[in-house]
Structure 1
Amino acid sequence: MGSRMSWEEVWPILLNGTLETLYMVGLAALFTVLVGLPVGVLLFISRRDGVLPLPHLNAVLGAAINTGRSLPFIVLLVALIPFTRLLIGTTLGSTAAVVPITLGAFPFFARVVENALDEVDKGRIEAVLSMGGTIWHVIAKALLPEALPAILAGITLTVVMLIGFSSMAGVIGGGGLGDLAIRYGYQRFNDQIMAGTVVILIALVQLVQSSGDRLVRRLAHRR
């Protein structure tokens, strides 16, 4: 059993870990959406029956996305160590952890976007095209506005997944709550830190999920 720590010692450690987790998740969520959204749109419009049929590109892109989704995140963490070091200069710390977290999450989000776009009424797409609209008009005026609630729900699911990814990044010294759980909770047998990290992670997931659900319901109601 590890030594007991006073609350004055515990809370700054947990606060710092929470802030590092929020930093990782926030930055990774931003990059995941910036990369995953256009990839998901491209997957949808490049289908054989899409508005920009590019079946060969779609097949290659789909295979790459499926490959990224099939790799367990812990394997991806280790496999991307050389790339992370090349890109960031180190594999330690919260900033370095954003690289594997983003690369592990954006294939999932791209598929979420593709599936959301698949639910859009084809009549709206045809209406835009019949009025002389371009592919960009179809995307901006029909696909994204109509699929917005489903995309926002997908962002919520993705952020929840990113919280889990950020915790696993602690295995390679990524910082955050996962790193605290390993260094203090596991290696030093400190049940206070371990319990604290679990409670905070659960609270973060609940907060993200409830906030996302509320936003989606409000948007759907307005529509």
Structure 2
Amino acid sequence: MNDGTASLIWQATRETLMMVGVAMAVTIPLGLALGVLLLITGRGQILEQPLANRAIAAVVNVGRSVPFIILLVAVIPLTRALVGTTIGTTAAIVPLALGTIPFFARIVETALREVPGGLVEAALAAGARRREVVTKVLIPEALPSLVAGVTITTIGVLGYSAMAGAVGGGGLGDVAIRYGYQRYETDVTIATVVVLVVLVQLLQFAGDRLARRLSHT
């Protein structure tokens, strides 16, 4: 791999990391909020609201049902309205976040369901408010599972970001398509695959280690 190719891969890697980082910065708080609402508005929960729960669940399910490649095209008007363009790494962040928030919300809901109900009941009996139950019982107790969920989601976003290259989203996927596929530069394709594999391994290692550390506290 010559210096030009190495520079190209490095720039694409930076674009990919930027897309993933910003998308996750949006996904984590919004997905966490949706996941909490999915749980606490459910039957027998601390804020039981069946109609609201069904409405939130429907929105989340619809968001999870749309294939990402279709979502990329479907949200073009929204992307243009928000960032002023539909091409490049900044534009790719919009569909990345929209496609990931519902997925992460379900992960959050599942993680929170693992918290023993007795802990919630004890907190309520001690006079804790609903907000305190969420922030001081549910989320702290589910933190190892939530960290594992963030890891899984981040790796998923990394894969989505490569797919965004098919529509000019920039990053490693864009380089792999424009140079590796369209120009038959096999070394570029191999390099992008290697970088993506390394990134996934690093993310998984860091996420697993942090989750194990939190589970021992």
Correspondence for 2:159: 164
Instruction: List per-residue Cα deviations over 1:142-197 (Å, max 9, x = no partner).
Output: 10010000000000000000000000010111100000011101111111111110
Correspondence for 1:213: 208
Correspondence for 2:31: 36
Correspondence for 1:194: 189
Q: Which amino acid aligns with 1:78?
A: V
Correspondence for 1:113: 108
CA distance in 1, matches of 2:83, 2:53: 31
Q: Which amino acid aligns with 2:168?
A: G
Correspondence for 2:59: 64
CA RMSD of aligned residues (A): 0.8
Matches within 5 A, 1:89-168: 89-168=84-163
Q: Which amino acid aligns with 2:98?
A: L
Residue 221 of structure 1: CA displacement? 1.8
Residue 199 of structure 1: CA displacement? 0.4
CA distance in 1, matches of 2:216, 2:115: 17
- Count of residue pairs the alignment pairs up: 217
**Structure 2 residue matching 1:50: 3-state secondary structure:** coil
TM-score, length-normalised on structure 1?
A: 0.96
Correspondence for 2:198: 203
Instruction: List per-residue Cα deviations over 1:48-86 (Å, max 9, x = no partner).
Output: 211001110100110110111111110111111111011
CA distance in 1, matches of 2:83, 2:52: 30
- Write out the 4+ residue segments of structure 1 that deviate beyond 3 Å after TM superposition: none
Instruction: List per-residue Cα deviations over 1:124-157 (Å, max 9, x = no partner).
Output: 1011111111100100111001000000000000
CA distance in 2, matches of 1:45, 1:216: 24
Q: Which structure 2 residue ranges, 5 or more long, are not aligned?
A: none
CA distance in 2, matches of 1:30, 1:211: 17
Q: Which amino acid aligns with 2:11?
A: N
TM-score, length-normalised on structure 2?
A: 0.98
The one of 76, 81, 89 aligned to 2:71: 76
Residue 9 of structure 1: CA displacement? 1.1
Q: Which amino acid aligns with 1:181?
A: A
Residue 16 of structure 1: CA displacement? 0.1
**Structure 1 residue matching 2:44: 3-state secondary structure:** coil
What is the percent sequence identity of the aligned residues?
52
CA distance in 1, matches of 2:180, 2:165: 12
CA distance in 1, matches of 2:178, 2:210: 37
The one of 178, 187, 204 aligned to 1:183: 178
